[in-house]
Amino acid sequence: MKSEIRVVGIDDTPFDKSQLAVMLIAPFFRGGRLMDGLLSTQIERDGDDATVKIIEMINKSKFKSQLQAILLDGIAFGGFNVVNIQAIAQHTIIPVITVIRKYPDFTAIKATLRKLGMEKKYQLMEIAGKPEKAVLKSGVIWFQHAGCTAEEAVEIIKIATIHGNIPEPLRIAHIIGQGIVDGESRGRA
């Protein structure tokens, strides 16, 4: 796989519980070294539209023809707006890889969703499959994938990861999102 594989990383901006909409930030990268563009869209906080909005954002982008992987910062955006990674991969015809810093506590997530009356969202988490481990130079992360093999997903993650253990497109999406919403980025991406 080429070191300048074209990837996009998608993360949500910071938000509070009073917001109805949350912005998704999606920098377009060559590997993990050069940002070539930026996409964005709005989703409903705790809604059901993130999957469709991501598909639309990618399919309408001038960058799509070069895109070889979509990296997601987890499987839920804007609270519990859970994405269907299988649907994104199918409707964009591009592999989708979620990146997760710590292994999720699925028991707690399921209990929270039940308490909020959002049990159906857990099915989307199950569709994504059990997170798999990727060992990087700087540590371990977890990932889920659709439209590619686990080995291909790990290779893409390694190519896109320059500093730490988060792929650069996701790290930059986080920094941009915080800078836009809070006026300055801070903390870990």
- Give 92's DSSP letter: H
Indicate if the pLDDT at residue 25 is higher than 90: yes
How far apart CA 146 and CA 22 sit, in angstroms, is 25
Which residue stretches of the chain are H helix?
50-60, 85-92, 106-115, 120-128, 150-160, 168-182
Global model pTM greater than 0.75:
yes
Q: Is 20 exposed, middle or buried (0-12, 13-18, 19+ CB in 10 A)?
A: exposed
In this predicted structure, what is the pLDDT of residue 109?
A: 93
In this predicted structure, what is the pLDDT of residue 13?
A: 96
Location of structure tokens 């949500």 = 12
pLDDT one-digit tens code per residue, 43-71: 999 999 999 999 999 999 999 999 999 99
